[in-house]
Amino acid sequence: MFATPTERLRVQLLAVRGIGPETADSILLYAGKHPVFVIDAYTRRIAERHGIAQSNLRYEALRSLFENSLPRNQQLFNEFHALIVRVGKNYCRPRNPRCSECSLARFLPQLSEPRS
């Protein structure tokens, strides 16, 4: 199955009832070792708070943003996503974010409103 070209396999996975883009991309990246960037709640929240993406940006557009900004490499995408998950769990939480303790704090846009 994983020998199938990435885009064709992604279409096939998305045709399976209950598999959406995030699940399909996770299967492709983690199980199939295909160079596909996974967009999840952590990725979206960090990208929004850092001014990289607007909240209304669709999944495919955000995925393209990451895939076009990084070298297309499965190991890189895997490690990059793992680091995003770590930052999201430990610092960039939905409520009570710990921005001042985060190593990415220096990249935050200066906003007058509090983060939520």
Residue 115 DSSP code: P
Q: What would the mean pLDDT of 105-110 be, rounded to a whole number?
A: 87
Tell me how far apart the alpha carbons of residues 45 and 103 are, in angstroms, rounded to a whole number.
16
CATH architecture of the domain formed by 6-107: Orthogonal Bundle (1.10)
Which is higher by pLDDT, 115 or 27?
27
Segment 86-96, tens digit of pLDDT: 999 999 999 99
Tell me how far apart the alpha carbons of residues 22 and 112 are, in angstroms, rounded to a whole number.
33
Q: How many CB atoms lie within 10 A of CB 78?
A: 16
Task: Using the Cα atoms of residue 41, residue 99, residue 82 and residue 59 in order, give the sign of their dihedral.
Answer: positive
Contact 77, 36 (CB under 8 A): yes
Segment 28-61, tens digit of pLDDT: 999 999 999 999 999 999 999 999 999 999 999 9
CA nearest neighbour of 28 among 63, 71, 68, 70: 63
Tell me how far apart the alpha carbons of residues 103 and 50 are, in angstroms, rounded to a whole number.
13
pLDDT for 6 beyond 90: yes
